[in-house]
Chains A and B, each alone.
Chain A
Amino acid sequence: MTETSLEARREILSSIREHLAESKRFDTQDVHPPTTARRTTSKSVAGDRDKPVIELFRHALEAVSGHCSIVRTIDEAAQAVQEIVAERKASGPPATAGGSDSHSRRVAVSDSALVRAILGRVKTEAAFLDSPSQAELFDCDVGITCAQWAIAETGTLVLESERERNRLASLVPPVHVAIIEASRIRRSMSEVLELIKKSDVGLSRAVTFITGPSRTSDIELTLAIGVHGPGELHVIVIDEAAPPA
Chain B
Amino acid sequence: MRDQARAIKDETLAHLDRYLEQFAGNAERAGARIHWARDGREVSNIIIELLHERNAKRVVKSKSMATEEIHLNDALEEAGIETVETDLGEWIIQLAHETPSHIVVPAIHKSKKQIADLFVEKIGIEPTDDVDKLTGAARRVLRQRFAEADAGISGVNFGVAETGTILILENEGNIRLTTSLPKIHFALMGIEKVIPRFADIDVFLKLLPRSGTGQQLTTYQSLITGQKKRPEDEGPEELHIILMDNGRSRMLAHPVTRQSLACIRCGACLNACPVYQQIGGHAYGSVYPGPIGAVITPQLIGISKATQLPYASSLCGACREVCPVKIDIPALLLHLRSEIVEGSASGSVDEQGPVKRKFSEHLAFRLYAFAWSRRRLYEWSARIARLFQRAAVRQGRIGKVSGLIAKLAPPLGAWTAGRDARPIAPRTFREQWRADSEIK
Interface residues, chain A, CB within 8 Å of chain B? Answer: 1-2, 4-6, 8-9, 11-13, 15-17, 19-20, 22-23, 26-27, 31-32, 34-35, 37-40, 42, 62-65, 134-135, 138, 154, 156, 161, 165, 167-168, 171-172, 189-190, 193-194, 197, 203-230
Contacts and interface: CB of A to CB of B under 8 A. Distances in A.
**Top 10 A-B residue pairs of the complex, sorted by shortest distance between their CB atoms:** A229-B173, A218-B89, A228-B173, A223-B436, A209-B221, A9-B36, A8-B36, A15-B249, A19-B252, A19-B253
B440 interface: yes
B351 interface: no
Contacts of A4: 42, 45
A27 B255 contact: yes
Given A205-B227, A218-B107, A220-B112, A26 B440 contact: no
Given A138-B143, A221-B432, A168 B16 contact: no
A23 B253 CA distance: 5
B252 A219 contact: no
23 contacts: A5-B36, A8-B42, A12-B249, A16-B252, A22-B254, A23-B252, A23-B253, A65-B440, A189-B202, A193-B202, A197-B198, A205-B31, A205-B224, A206-B224, A207-B225, A208-B223, A209-B223, A215-B219, A219-B135, A220-B131, A220-B383, A221-B387, A229-B173
- Which of A204, A210, A214 has the most C-beta atoms of chain B within 10 angstroms of its own C-beta? A214
Contacts of A134: 147, 181
B254 A23 contact: yes
- Which of B4, B7, B176 has the most C-beta atoms of chain A within 10 angstroms of its own C-beta? B176
B13 to A, nearest CB: 8
B221 A208 contact: yes
A214 to B, nearest CB: 4
Contact of B135 (A138, A189, A226): A226
B120 interface: no
B228 interface: yes
Interface in B180-201: 180-181, 191, 196-201
Contacts of B258: 23
Interface of B: 1, 4, 7-8, 10-11, 14, 16-17, 20-21, 30-31, 34-38, 42, 45-46, 86-89, 92, 105-108, 111-112, 115, 131-132, 134-136, 138-139, 142-143, 147, 163, 165, 171-174, 176-177, 179-181, 191, 196-203, 205-206, 213, 216-229, 233-235, 243, 245, 249-256, 258, 383, 387, 429, 432-433, 436-440
Contact of A31 (B11, B176, B217, B227): B11
Nearest to A28: B255
A135 B147 contact: yes
A63 B7 CA distance: 32
Contacts of A23: 252-255, 258
A152 to B, nearest CB: 12
B234 A167 contact: yes
A227 B226 CA distance: 28
A50 to B, nearest CB: 20
B440 A216 contact: no
A157 B180 CA distance: 18
A161 B7 CA distance: 32
B440 A218 contact: no
B250 A15 contact: yes
A23 B7 CA distance: 18
A12 B220 contact: no
B233 A35 contact: no
Nearest to B37: A8
A225 B253 CA distance: 45
Contacts of B224: 205-206
Contacts of B20: 12-13, 16
Contact of A32 (B10, B132, B436): B10
Contacts of B165: 203
Contacts of A12: 20, 36, 38, 191, 243, 245, 249
Given A214-B172, A214-B219, A219 B202 contact: no
A172 B142 CA distance: 12
Given A40-B1, A221-B432, 13 more contacts: A8-B37, A171-B173, A208-B176, A209-B205, A209-B217, A209-B223, A210-B219, A213-B219, A216-B172, A218-B107, A219-B88, A221-B105, A223-B437
A61 B34 CA distance: 37
B206 A189 contact: yes
B216 A154 contact: yes
A65 B88 contact: no
Contacts of A42: 202, 206
B180 A206 contact: yes
B223 A20 contact: no
Contacts of A168: 180-181, 234
Contacts of B45: 4
A218 to B, nearest CB: 4
A203 B222 CA distance: 13
Contacts of A203: 163, 165, 225
Contact of B220 (A11, A26, A209): A209
Contacts of B8: 35
A39 B198 CA distance: 11
A34 B131 contact: no
Nearest to B252: A19
Given A15-B249, A216-B172, A217-B433, A1 B17 contact: no
A32 B11 contact: yes
A194 B217 contact: no
Nearest to A15: B249
Nearest to A219: B131
B233 A205 contact: yes
Nearest to B132: A224
A64 B438 CA distance: 6
A31 B36 contact: no
Contacts of A223: 436-437, 439
A212 to B, nearest CB: 5
A8 B45 CA distance: 13
B227 to A, nearest CB: 7
Contact of B16 (A20, A209, A224, A225): A20
A205 B229 contact: yes
B223 A207 contact: yes
- Which of A1, A27, A197 has the most C-beta atoms of chain B within 10 angstroms of its own C-beta? A197
